[in-house]
Amino acid sequence: MPELPEVETIKNELIPHVVGRRITGVNLYWENMVLVPSASELRARLTGQKIVSVSRRGKLLIFGLASGESSIIHLRMTGSLLIMPALAEPEKHVRAVFKLDNGTAIHFYDPRKFGKMWLVRDVESVIGKLGMEPFDPSFTPEYLAGIMSNRTAPVKVILGEQSLIAGIGNMYADEALFAAKIYPLRPGKSLSGAEIKRLHRSIRNVLDAAIANKGASVQDYFRPGGETGTAHYDFKVAHRGGKLCPVCRTPIKRIAVRQRGTYFCPKCQREMPR
């Protein structure tokens, strides 16, 4: 699933192609992806609109329009936005095409049909329940400690809760916990002050590095130009079950945490810290 680094990369690479461009046509091949308004109304209201900005909130992409409305896209598990020639024939898994006034188009590629779209005037109606961004100045070790302090849920689950921290998902939670040497099933409230500080630093470092590497193409993630990201080449534990830990050479273990695959080193991330 595209997480914060992937969506940030998509945003950055879309901006020079789409900001200032006018949408001249919308083709929807999977109308169920449109949550608000109806598919036919979204098509009519988007056509003719000028894109004035592209931003990110958590894992969501927000296209600001000249009308004051915003088109919001959640790529979910397998979605990508590709810049293509306007006359290019959509591939099998393209669910929507947004034609632009410069002879290009945005293709919403989504093999598993999990992606979602909104067209709203009030952006908060969609993003209002998201938690703090990891790079927000207010996201401090103290803030993270406050999130963890009274929670018995596994720290891996807490990191992925979008209403608490926006943008972190499976991959980067695993990587941050490994970097901080924290066992993923530890209850949030069991973390010490030193561990909280390590985890806070690790979250930012891991996300920073992944953004610099243009995201991780573990499965279906593609950048707008069709290129893949390279962040996964630097993964220490995520998606590396059975391979050797780069620190201690212990085999990486995979377990399910709330039905999500979770990877960790059983030696570097001990159940009971020393």
Per-domain boundaries in the chain: 4-127, 141-264
**pLDDT band at residue 4, thresholds of 50, 70 and 90?**
very high
CA torsion, ordered 22, 24, 30, 31, to nearest 10 deg: 90
* pLDDT (average), residues 78-89: 94
Catalytic residue check, 243: no
Nearest to 42 by CA among 32, 54, 55, 52: 32
**Cα-trace Rg, the chain:** 20
Q: Is the CB of residue 248 less than 8 Å from the CB of residue 268?
A: yes
pLDDT score at 258: 84
Percent of the chain having pLDDT more than 90?
A: 93
* pLDDT (average), residues 167-185: 97
Nearest to 214 by CA among 39, 5, 3, 2: 5
**pLDDT band at residue 1, thresholds of 50, 70 and 90?**
confident
Sheet holding 116-120, edge to edge: 34-36, 116-120, 70-74, 60-65, 51-57
The H-or-E segment that residue 200 falls in is: helix 193-212
What CATH superfamily is the domain 4-127? MutM-like, N-terminal (3.20.190.10)
pLDDT score at 271: 87
pLDDT score at 11: 98
Residue 233: phi, psi to the nearest 5?
A: -65, -20
Catalytic pick from 113, 260, 266, 273?
Answer: 260
pLDDT in tens, 204-233: 999 999 999 999 998 789 999 999 999 999
pLDDT score at 47: 97
Q: pTM to 2 decimals?
A: 0.95
**pLDDT band at residue 164, thresholds of 50, 70 and 90?**
very high
Residue 142 has pLDDT above 70, yes or no: yes
Catalytic pick from 2, 5, 154, 184?
Answer: 2
Question: Max Cα separation, the chain?
Answer: 62
Cα–Cα distance, 193 to 142 (Å, whole number):
9
**pLDDT band at residue 200, thresholds of 50, 70 and 90?**
very high
Catalytic residue check, 251: no
Cα–Cα distance, 75 to 116 (Å, whole number):
7
Percent of the chain having pLDDT more than 70?
A: 99
Q: Can you list the positions of beta strands (E) in the chain?
A: 23-28, 34-36, 51-57, 60-65, 70-74, 80-85, 94-100, 104-109, 116-120, 253-257, 260-264
Residue 75 has pLDDT above 70, yes or no: yes
> For tokens 């993964």, what's the residue?
235
Catalytic pick from 43, 56, 59, 156?
Answer: 59
pLDDT score at 273: 67
**pLDDT band at residue 274, thresholds of 50, 70 and 90?**
low
Letter for the amino acid at 200? Answer: H
Catalytic pick from 3, 6, 175, 195?
Answer: 3
Cα-based distances in Å from 55 to 42, 51, 62, 64: 20, 11, 5, 8
Catalytic residue check, 187: no
* pLDDT (average), residues 87-111: 95
| Long-range residue pairs from 188-193, CB within 8 A, at least 24 positions apart, any chain | 188/147, 188/148, 188/149, 188/151, 188/152, 188/153, 188/154, 188/155, 188/158, 189/148, 189/149, 189/150, 189/151, 189/152, 191/145, 191/148, 191/155, 192/273, 193/141, 193/145
Catalytic residue check, 111: no
Cα–Cα distance, 11 to 44 (Å, whole number):
24
* pLDDT (average), residues 129-155: 97
**CATH architecture group of domain 141-264:** Orthogonal Bundle (1.10)
Residue 252 has pLDDT above 80, yes or no: yes
